[in-house]
Amino acid sequence: MPDHTRPRGEHEGKVALITGGGRGFGKAFGEALSARGAHVVLADIDGAAAAEAAAELTARGASASAVTCDVADEAEVGAAVHGVAERHGGLDILVNNAGLHAAYNRPFTELGLANVRRVLDVNVMGVVICSLAAREAMKGRAGASVVNISSAAAYANRSIYGVSKLAVRGLTVSFAREFAADGIRVNAIAPGLIFTEAVRAELSAAEADRVLGEQILRREGEEQDIVEALLYLVSSRASFVTGETLRVTGGFALSV
């Protein structure tokens, strides 16, 4: 288990909504933020996974709750954000983490239009819907911050997944401009290949070796690398940072 105990209380009294919070990065983000004093709301289309993750945090003394939510469904997102604002008085941190991943990181010709639309609905419109829904609840909150999860695939653009994550980078800039007057910073993280349990199960050894060979830093990316990036972006240390995409890739596909 990663050590998330320092510095305790950094986000005391803050409220964080994390989409895709039932597993993977989302669950790890919830662990880290709750360990620093935030109440975390784990939103996931798989409500059982979100509830289980929230229960694990609560059992460890953290403040957490769960909500079932499809980020592509405007009504569900609106209800989730309204519920958070009603119960907690507002929202300080939004992490747009939910998304469709590996199965869609393939050429357009292999997917079909229905799958292309689904990726855009979740990976792009999900960010739009959640950000717009959360804006009013975050307005005027000291240190309010939105963090979107993009991908190193956004710099290759070989698939609808890559294109969707490129769009997330664009949305990050647009919303940073639009939300600045409300005191809300908007940034993104573009993870490279991170060797989570799910990735290890899905990725062939040959593909893993190929990516590692293209990295400048020849070590496996870890979940904690992305968690640390998130903790920086939502902290006061990043108070002059907005509209940026922080690449955490080990130097993969690096260019000027």
Q: Angle, nearest 10°, between helix axes 24-35 and 223-233? A: 50
The DSSP output letter for 221 is B
Residue for token digits 């290759």?
A: 156
d(CA 185, CA 237): 12
d(CA 156, CA 121): 21
Known catalytic residue at 104? no
* Residue 114, Ramachandran bin (φ over 0: left; ψ between -120 and 50: alpha; else beta): alpha
Identified catalytic residue from 104, 155, 161, 232: 161
Contacts of 241 (CB under 8 A, 6+ apart): 185, 187, 233
d(CA 81, CA 90): 9
Question: 37 and 4 in contact (C-beta within 8 Å)?
Answer: no
d(CA 46, CA 20): 8
Show which residues are catalytic: 161
